Amino acid sequence: MKAIKLIIILLAIIKVCAIGEERPVTTSSSIRVKLSSERQKDTVAINNLVRKGSKYLSSMQGNPDIVKTFIDSAVLICEKKKIDIPARLHLLRAQYYFVTGDLRSASEEADKALMKSTDSGEYDLLARTNLFLGKYYLITGSFAESIDSYNNAISISGKEKIKGLIPLAYNGQNDVYTEIGDLKGQRQSLQLMIDAAYNENDPVSAQRGYLRLGRSFLGDTTTSAGRNFRTADSLIRKSMEVSAIKIDTGLFATSLTYLGWNFYLEKMYDSSIYYFEKSLKYTLPGNLHGISANSYGNLGTIYSDLRKPEKAIGYYKKGIEHAKMVSDIFNLWWIYRDMSYMYLQSGDTSNAFRNYVLFKKYSDIYISKGNIEGLADAKIRYEADAHNKEVELLSLRLKNNRLLNYGFAGFIFLISFIGFLFFRGSKLKDKRRISEMNRKISEITQANLRQQMNPHFIFNTLNSIQYYMYQHDKLATNNYLTKFSSLMRKVLDNSQHTSVPLSDELSALNLYLELESLRFKDKFDYKINVDEEIDPLMHKIPTMLIQPYVENSICHGLIPMDGKGYVNIDLKLKDEFILCTIEDNGIGREAAKERSQKREGNNHNSLGTRITASRLDLANELYGTSLRTIYTDLKNEKGEPSGTRVEIHIPIIL
C-alpha cells in the first residue's frame, strides 16, 4: 500500500515538475499545501489510534497488548513523518504502562504529557493528565501529591470549562481519603463531587456520589465510626432518586442492598428483607450475579438471626450459586462464614465444620489475593521512593543555587516552607504506615487462625473421639469431646483480638497439649512453667504466638522418636519482653527435615512457624522492638542430637 502511495506521490511530483517548467512559482506553494494536508491526515490518523487505544483501556476488556499495537502504530507514524509525539499519545502510553505495572515509565510519560500539553495549550489533555497522576500517586502511596494532582485537574477544568472531569477528580480524592482513613475528607470530597455533578448535569456521577457518601455513614457494625442510620438512609435514597432519571441498574440495585444492610444493622429485619428482595428483582433479570449473591447471602443471615435456619440455608445456597457464577470470592467467603456460624449456633457441629473449612478456603484465596497485590504494592512503593529521592535531590540542588541569589531572607523562608512540607508529608506518611499495618495485622492474624485450627489436628481429634465412642468408654469420650469444644471456644474467642491476656493464651495451649497427649498415649509429657513475676491476667501478648512452635515440637520432634519424650514450656519475664522457651528431647531439626523431605519433597510444614515469625517482625515494626526467635539444636555428651530448644521473645503489649 505504502509503496503505491509513494509512487503516486512521485508521479504527481514529476507531473507537477513537468508542468512547473512553465509556472515555477505556483508549484512550490502547491507542494506546500499538499504537504500540510498530508500532515493533517497523519495527525487525524494518530488521534484516531489514540482514541481507539484509550477506549480499549477504559473498557478494561481484553489484554493491554491490543493497546500496545495502537500505540506502536501511532509512534511509527510520528517517526516516519518526523512529527513530534503529541501529548495525547504520551498520556495513552502512561496509562498503558500504568496498567502493565511499569510505573517508572508511566510517570516519565505522564511528565512529558504534562509538559507538552502545557506548551500546546491543550487544557483538556492537561486536566486529564492530572487526573491520571492523581490515580498514579494514590497507587504509589504519595497521598499528598495525589490530592494536589486532582486539585490541578479540578482548577484547570474549572477555568477552561471542561466537562466531565471534575466529579471524577473529587471521586479520586475520596479514594485517597478512604485509603488514609480520613472520614471527614472522604465526605467532603464526595459532597463536592455531587455538587460538581449537578453543575455539569451528570446524573450518573451524582448518583455514584450519593451512594458512596451514604456508604460512609453506613459502617459494618452499629458501632462503626461515623455510622448514622438516618443520614445513610436519606443519602442512599437520594442516590436512587437521581438514578430514576438515568437508569443504571447496577448502581440502583447496589443502593437497595445498602438500604437493606442499613436496616439490618438496626435489627429492623422486615424492612431489610424488603430491600434485599427488591434489589434481587433488578439484579436477577440483569444477570448481575455479584449483587444477587450479596442480597441472597444477606437474606440468609437475616433469617439465621431470626432463627429460621431452613429458610436461611435456602438463601445461602442461592447466594453461593450466584457468587460461583462470577467467582465472587468475597461473597463466597463471608456467606460460608455466616453459614458456619449459624450451624454452630444451632449445635450442628458437623455442618458447621464443613462450612468452616469452605470459609477458610475462600478466605485464604481472598487473603492470598490481597497478599499478591500487597507485594506488588510494596514493589511499586519502593520504586516510587527511589524516584522521589532522585527528584528531591535535584530540587534541593536547584534550591541551593537560588539560595545564593536570594540571600538570607530567602533561606529562612525556604527552610520554614520545607519544614512545613516535611511536617505535612510525615503526617500523611504516618497515617499511611498505620493503615498499612492494620491491614497487615488483620491478615496475619487471620492466617494464623487458620494455622491454629490445623485441619489435621481437628480431624484427628474427632477420629480419636470416635475411637473412644466405639470402645464404649463414655467418660473418656465425654472428657475428650468437651476438652475439644473448650479449645475451639478459646481459639474462636482469642482470634477475635490481636492481643490477649497471657492466661487466655496459656489455657488454650494447655487444652491443646492435653488433647495431643491424650491422642498419643504415653508418647510425651509436658509442663508449662510460668515465672512468678508474670501476672497472666495482666500481661498481654499477641494472640496465638506460642502454639505453632509447640505443635512443631510435638509433630516433628516427639512423635517420630522412639520411646517417651517431653516438651517443656517455660515463661520468664524480662525487661521488655517475655522469654518463652520451648524445649523438647525429640529427634532434632536435622532429622525432622530429612524426614519431611523424604515424605513430601519440600518442607511446607514450617508454614505455621513462618507465619508466627512474620508476626514477630510485625510486632517489632509496631512497637519498635527487636524481638526474635532463637533455635538451638541440643546435643548429648556424645554429640548426638538430643532435641531442640526454641526461645521466642514475646512482646508485652501495653
Partner 1 sequence: MSRKLRTVIIDDEQDAVDFITSIIGEYCSSLEVVGKANNVVTGVAVINDIKPDLVFLDVEMPNGTGFDLLAQFPEKDFDVVFITAFNHYAIKAIKFSAVDYILKPININEFIDAVGRVVKKRSEKSTQGNESIKALMENLRSSFPSRLAIPTSDGMEYLNPKDIIRIEADRSYSWFFINGNRKILVSKHLKEFQELLSDRYFFRPHNSHLINLKYVRKYIRKEGGNIEMTDGSLIPVSRNRKDIFLAHMAKFKG
Residues in 256-285 that interact with partner 1 by CB under 8 A? none
Identify each DSSP E strand in 520-628 by its residue range.
524-530, 540-542, 565-573, 577-584
Smallest separation, CB 134 to partner 1 (Å): 38
Q: Which of 347, 407, 563, 624 binds partner 1 (CB under 8 A)?
A: 347
Helix (H) or strand (E) holding 549: helix 547-552
Q: Which of 373, 533, 600, 621 binds partner 1 (CB under 8 A)?
A: 533
Find, among 627, 650, 609, 341, the residue nearest to 499 by Cα: 650
Smallest separation, CB 217 to partner 1 (Å): 24
Q: Which of 99, 403, 481, 627 binds partner 1 (CB under 8 A)?
A: 481
Residue 478 sits in the site that holds partner 1 (CB under 8 A): yes
Q: How many residues bind partner 1 (CB under 8 A)?
A: 26
Residue 3 or residue 475: which is nearer to partner 1 going by CB?
475
Q: Which of 21, 475, 522, 640 binds partner 1 (CB under 8 A)?
A: 475
**Residues 21, 24, 26, CA angle at the centre, nearest 5°?**
135
Find, among 561, 578, 566, the residue nearest to 645 by Cα: 566
Helix (H) or strand (E) holding 649: strand 641-651
Q: Which of 522, 575, 637, 640 binds partner 1 (CB under 8 A)?
A: 575
Residue 575 or residue 637: which is nearer to partner 1 going by CB?
575
Radius of gyration of the chain from its Cα atoms, rounded to whole angstroms: 33
Residue 209 or residue 309: which is nearer to partner 1 going by CB?
309
Residue 414 or residue 573: which is nearer to partner 1 going by CB?
573
Residue 492 or residue 613: which is nearer to partner 1 going by CB?
492
Residue 539 sits in the site that holds partner 1 (CB under 8 A): yes
Helix (H) or strand (E) holding 162: none
Q: Which of 16, 66, 573, 634 binds partner 1 (CB under 8 A)?
A: 573
Residue 627 CA to residue 579 CA, distance in Å, equals 10
Q: Which of 537, 564, 599, 600 binds partner 1 (CB under 8 A)?
A: 537
Residue 345 sits in the site that holds partner 1 (CB under 8 A): yes
Residue 479 sits in the site that holds partner 1 (CB under 8 A): yes
- Identity of the amino acid at 295: S
Residue 307 sits in the site that holds partner 1 (CB under 8 A): yes
Q: What does the DSSP 8-state code read for residue 653? A: B
Smallest separation, CB 148 to partner 1 (Å): 36
Rounded (10°) angle between helices 166-179 and 123-140: 10
Facing residues of 568 across strands?
527, 583
Residue 249 CA to residue 244 CA, distance in Å, equals 10
Contact predicate 633/641, CB 8 Å: yes
Name the one range near partner 1 by CB under 8 A: 10-18, 114-122, 356-364, 536-544: 536-544
Residue 452 or residue 612: which is nearer to partner 1 going by CB?
452
Label residue 121 exposed, middle or buried (CB < 10 Å: 0-12, 13-18, 19+): exposed
Residue 652 sits in the site that holds partner 1 (CB under 8 A): yes
181: region left, alpha or beta (phi > 0 left; psi from -120 to 50 alpha): left
Write out the residues near partner 1 by the rule CB under 8 A. Answer: 307, 345, 347, 474-475, 478-479, 481-483, 485-486, 489, 493, 501, 503, 532-533, 535, 537-539, 573, 575, 652, 654
